[in-house]
């Protein structure tokens, strides 16, 4: 079975040697999975000259599982840029920060507070405690499937995978469904750098940054108004709960701005990533009808399928979010202090030194959750719990109602640029159960 994504033809050359590898230029996204074996074989620590944190330093793409794991498990030695306090502008003013960045500076500037933040504030809602949303997610998924189940075809991205995380996050946060179109626009603006940003650091041009600010104007106020309202009249949602919670490391309640920052983080992480995961899973099933039949007939295999799909088709392919504080060496390649490390989760997930038959989807693979799709260690994705819930509940319901599925007409298999494996649309034909 083919586990590399189908891609759209484009003008970029297929990489066959390390010099050809470019993971970040427009069009590169259609060749990522051709680049990974080249990098593994010939340049597992791939230098990007001049792209480090200060002039004269470099960026390095890490593709080996062991290297990435070593980095993410040691946040003191390889600090994520996120917690580094911003430098003042040349005129002495401070750079503009969004609410999430502001709240990271105050709520969790160090490792200990980062852990407390996760376990106390986000885990109960989107992490280990995400099972509380089971019925809500099921109802949301059912409502969406009802819209198209009698049509025998669907744009799985536009009519299901994109909408489910939006409804789920609106419910979790306690936003009215009527505001989902606005949430979608804001969510897209938040991830703009990850889609349209330049190079491995996802840099926006001043014009793009201005455009981002223009679209996001109003978001902070929108959340601020809800925080005030929910502090006064708490309901059963996450924002209401955050207004009432006492955060134990500080032994006080959270400020409105701190809550605003947490909401920003939930939106930036919680919408598109899960969409991409489900779209990739649907394609894997189209590639192998027998796989769909097997999992449909034995749902105990569904968890294994989801983890393998996450491993093989990581929605977040890579992030340049770690730096070196001292001179380091990976696979014999020197990465001096001040380098930026691009963790290529998707490549680590197919590293032949870590995974037996790395390109095969094995429903009973041992220790499959050790993949890097959500990263690992204390800084790993705080929303992995709710994302897994959504995928599990969605596929259980889809399998109840769909006997078989295949690619429909009109698929281009074109992906958005950036660092996410984001298919624009996915037309499916299916037989209703």
Residues interacting with ligand HEM, by CB under 6 A? 72, 80, 126, 265-266, 269-270, 273-274, 277, 315-316, 319, 321, 345, 373-375, 379-383, 386-387
Q: Which is nearer to ligand HEM, 28 or 386 (CB)?
A: 386
CB of 56 to ligand HEM, least distance (A): 25
Write the Ramachandran bin of 174: left for phi over 0, alpha for psi from -120 to 50, otherwise beta: left
Q: Which of 349, 375, 340 is nearest to 199 (CA)?
A: 340
Shortest Å, Cβ 100 to ligand HEM: 7
- Please say which residue, 15 or 386, places its beta carbon nearer to ligand HEM: 386
Q: Least Å distance between CB 314 and ligand HEM?
A: 6
Least distance from C-beta 409 to ligand HEM, angstroms?
28
Tell me the C-alpha distance between 164 and 157, whole Å. 10
- Our CB check for ligand HEM shows the closer of 161 and 430 to be 161
Of 100 and 286, the one with the shorter C-beta distance to ligand HEM is 100
Which is closer to ligand HEM, CB of 15 or CB of 166? 166
Minimum gap (Å) between residue 151 Cβ and ligand HEM? 27
Minimum CB separation of residue 108 from ligand HEM in Å reads 8
d(CA 313, CA 372): 11
Concatenate the DSSP letters of all residues of 224-248 into one string: HHHHHHHHHS--SSHHHHHHH-EET
DSSP element (H, E) containing 430: strand 427-432
Smallest gap from residue 319 Cβ to ligand HEM (A): 6
Q: What tokens does 198 get?
A: 């330049």
Q: Under the phi-then-psi rule, with left for phi > 0, alpha for psi from -120 to 50, and beta for the rest, what region is 356?
A: beta
Determine the 3-state secondary structure of 193 from DSSP. Answer: helix
Q: Which is nearer to ligand HEM, 15 or 265 (by Cβ)?
A: 265
Determine whether 429 is exposed, middle or buried from the number of CB atoms within 10 Å of its CB (0-12, 13-18, 19+): middle
Residue 251 CA to residue 245 CA, distance in Å, equals 10
Question: How far apart are the C-alpha atoms of 412 and 427, rounded to whole Å?
Answer: 9
Q: By the 8 A CB rule, do 30 and 416 touch?
A: no
Of 380 and 396, CB closest to ligand HEM: 380
Kindly report the length of the chain.
433
Question: Shortest CA distance to 393 belongs to which of 201, 243, 168?
Answer: 168
- Answer whether 61's CB lies under 8 Å from 344's CB: yes
- Of 322 and 430, CB closest to ligand HEM: 322
Please, what is the end-to-end C-alpha distance for the chain in angstroms? 25
Task: Tell me how far, at minimum, the Cβ of 142 lies from ligand HEM, in Å.
Answer: 20
Q: How far is the CB of 82 from ligand HEM (least distance, A)?
A: 7
Q: What are the residues whose beta carbons fall under 8 Å from the beta carbon of 124, sequence distance 6 or more?
A: 241
Q: How far is CA 361 from CA 249, 322, 397, in A?
A: 43, 30, 22
Closest distance between ligand HEM and the C-beta of residue 404, in Å? 25
Taking the least distance from each CB to ligand HEM, the nearer of 43 and 274 is 274
State which residue, 7 or 320, has the beta carbon closest to ligand HEM.
Answer: 320
For residue 62, the cross-strand partners are 45, 343
Q: What is the distance between the alpha carbons of residues 32 and 63, in angstroms, rounded to a whole number? A: 12
The least CB distance from residue 390 to ligand HEM, in Å, is: 8
Which residue's CB is nearer to ligand HEM, number 177 or number 334?
A: 177
Query: Residue 51: phi, psi to the nearest 5?
Result: -110, 35
Nearer to ligand HEM, 202 or 273 (CB): 273
Report the relative pairing of strands 59-62 and 45-48 from DSSP bridges. antiparallel
CB of 307 to ligand HEM, least distance (A): 11
**Interatomic CA distance for residues 97 and 117, integer angstroms:** 20
Q: Which residues lie across from 343 on neighbouring strands?
A: 62, 319
């Amino acid at each position: 079975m083919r586990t590399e994504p189908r891609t759209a033809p484009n003008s970029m050359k297929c990489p066959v040697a390390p010099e050809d590898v470019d993971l970040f230029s427009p069009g590169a996204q259609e060749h990522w999975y051709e680049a990974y074996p080249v990098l593994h074989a010939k340049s597992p620590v791939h230098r990007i000259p001049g792209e480090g944190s200060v002039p004269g330093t470099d960026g390095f793409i890490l593709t080996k599982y062991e290297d990435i794991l070593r980095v993410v498990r040691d946040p003191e030695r390889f600090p994520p840029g996120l917690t580094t306090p911003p430098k003042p502008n040349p005129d002495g003013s401070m750079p503009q920060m969004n609410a999430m960045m502001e709240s990271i500076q105050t709520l969790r500037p160090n490792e200990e507070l980062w852990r407390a933040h996760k376990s106390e504030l986000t885990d109960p809602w989107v992490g280990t405690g995400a099972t509380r949303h089971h019925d809500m997610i099921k109802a949301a998924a059912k409502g969406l499937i009802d819209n198209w189940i009698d049509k025998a075809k669907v744009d799985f991205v536009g009519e299901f995978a994109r909408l489910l995380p939006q409804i789920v996050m609106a419910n979790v946060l306690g936003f009215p469904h009527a505001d989902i179109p606005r949430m979608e626009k804001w969510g897209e603006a938040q991830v703009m750098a990850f889609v349209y940003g330049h190079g491995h650091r996802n840099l926006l041009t001043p014009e793009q940054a201005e455009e981002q600010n223009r679209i996001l104007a109003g978001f902070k106020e929108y959340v601020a108004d809800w925080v005030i309202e929910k502090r006064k009249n708490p309901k059963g949602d996450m924002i209401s709960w955050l207004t009432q919670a006492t955060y134990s490391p500080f032994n006080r309640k959270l400020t409105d701005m701190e809550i605003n920052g947490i909401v920003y983080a939930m939106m930036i992480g919680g919408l598109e990533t899960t969409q991409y995961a489900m779209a990739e899973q649907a394609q894997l099933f189209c590639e192998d009808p027998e796989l769909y039949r097997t999992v449909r007939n034995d749902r105990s295999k569904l968890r294994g399928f989801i983890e393998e799909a996450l491993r093989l088709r990581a929605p977040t392919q890579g992030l340049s979010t770690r730096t070196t504080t001292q001179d380091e060496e990976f696979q014999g390649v020197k990465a001096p202090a001040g380098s930026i490390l691009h963790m290529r989760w998707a490549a680590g997930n197919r590293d032949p030194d870590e995974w037996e038959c790395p390109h095969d989807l094995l429903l009973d693979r041992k220790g499959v959750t050790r993949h890097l799709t959500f990263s690992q260690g204390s800084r790993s994705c705080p929303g992995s719990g709710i994302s897994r819930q959504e995928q599990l509940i969605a596929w259980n319901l889809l399998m109840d109602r769909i006997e078989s599925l295949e690619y429909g007409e009109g698929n281009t298999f074109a992906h958005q640029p950036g660092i996410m494996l984001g298919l624009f649309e996915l037309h499916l034909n299916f037989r209703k159960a």
